[in-house]
Amino acid sequence: MAELHFFTGTMDSGKSTLALQTNHNHAQRGRVGRIFTAHDRAGESILSSRLGLTHDAIEVPDDFDFWRYVVDALTQGGRIDYLICDEAQFYTPQQIDQLAKIVDELQIDVFTFGILTDFRSVLFPGSARLVELADRMQTLQVEALCWCGKRATHNARTENGAMVVEGEVIVVGDVDDIDEEPADVAYEVLCRQHHRRRLTAARAKAVSLAPEPLPFGSAG
Helix, strand or coil for residue 93?
helix
Helices (H), 31-76: 66-75
Options 3, 44, 87, 105, the catalytic residue: 87
Find all residues with CB under 8 Å of 153, minimum gap 6, and list them: 10, 190, 191, 192, 195
Tell me if 86 sits within 8 A of 55, measured CB to CB.
no
- Cβ–Cβ under 8 Å, residues 174 and 187: yes
Annotation marks residue 87 as catalytic = yes
C-alpha–C-alpha distance, residues 1 and 93, integer Å: 23
Q: What is the CA radius of gyration of the chain?
A: 21
Residues taking part in catalysis: 87
